[in-house]
């Protein structure tokens, strides 16, 4: 059984968190572990735990009124294809159902496009929704 909780229990260790990021190939997050852990502490996180093992998370930040930004959605490769990611996003959005706009930026892969469209996210195009811009300073 998979438990979804916004409470970080003592079962969720730094090692499990960093291992989850590593398992999905997000090595930039594991190169500076203290930065990653502090970012999680300063965010709202929905944790997915199975048998006391962290198998997924959804992390976002919000002003609590008008906008929610989803930064990370990760699912352990051994649990992918079991709707864990879908449940994480749906539960996360339900938790913030009063927020009018949710934004996320993701990799330009077909599978991510299909995943987010299945959750009713709309891809921003200049003609329809405005423009999206990113100022990336992490990897310079």
**Which string of DSSP letters, residue by residue, matches 111-122?**
HHHHHHHHTT--
The structure tokens 């735990």 sit at: 49
Indicate whether 7 belongs to any domain: yes
Indicate whether 25 belongs to any domain: yes
- Residue pair 104/119 in contact (Cβ under 8 Å)? The answer is no
Indicate whether 112 belongs to any domain: yes
Q: How many domains does the chain have?
A: 1
Indicate whether 129 belongs to any domain: no
Residue 32, domain CATH: 3.40.630.30
- Residue 23: pLDDT over 80: yes
**Residues written for the chain:** 140
Indicate whether 41 belongs to any domain: yes
> What is the predicted pLDDT for the residue at 106?
86
Quick one: which of 60, 120, 118 has its CA closest to 92? 60
Indicate whether 24 belongs to any domain: yes
CA-CA-CA-CA dihedral for 33, 6, 2, 34, to nearest 10: 0
Give the pLDDT mean for 45-59.
97
Indicate whether 130 belongs to any domain: no
Alpha-carbon distance 68 to 52, whole Å?
A: 29
Please give the residue that has the higher pLDDT: either 85 or 131.
Answer: 85
Quick one: which of 105, 106, 115 has its CA closest to 85? 115
Q: Which residues contact 38 (CB under 8 A, 6 or more apart)?
A: none
Indicate whether 43 belongs to any domain: yes
pLDDT one-digit tens code per residue, 86-100: 999 999 999 999 998
> What is the predicted pLDDT for the residue at 93?
96
Domain that holds residue 90: 2-118
Q: Give me the sign of the Cα torsion angle 89, 92, 95, 97.
A: negative
- Residue 125: pLDDT over 90: no
pTM assigned to the model: 0.89
């Amino acid at each position: 059984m998979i438990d979804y909780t916004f409470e970080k229990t003592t079962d969720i260790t730094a090692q499990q968190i960093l291992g989850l990021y590593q398992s999905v190939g997000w090595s930039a997050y594991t190169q500076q572990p203290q930065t990653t852990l502090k970012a999680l502490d300063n965010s709202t996180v929905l944790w997915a735990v199975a048998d006391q093992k962290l198998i997924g998370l959804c992390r976002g930040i919000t002003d609590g009124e008008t906008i929610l930004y989803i930064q990370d959605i990760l699912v352990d490769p051994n649990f992918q294809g079991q709707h864990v990611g879908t449940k994480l996003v749906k539960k996360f959005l339900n938790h913030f159902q009063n927020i009018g706009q949710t934004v996320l930026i993701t990799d330009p892969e077909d599978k991510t496009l299909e995943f987010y469209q299945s959750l009713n996210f709309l891809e921003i195009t200049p003609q329809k929704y405005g423009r999206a811009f990113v100022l990336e300073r992490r990897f310079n």
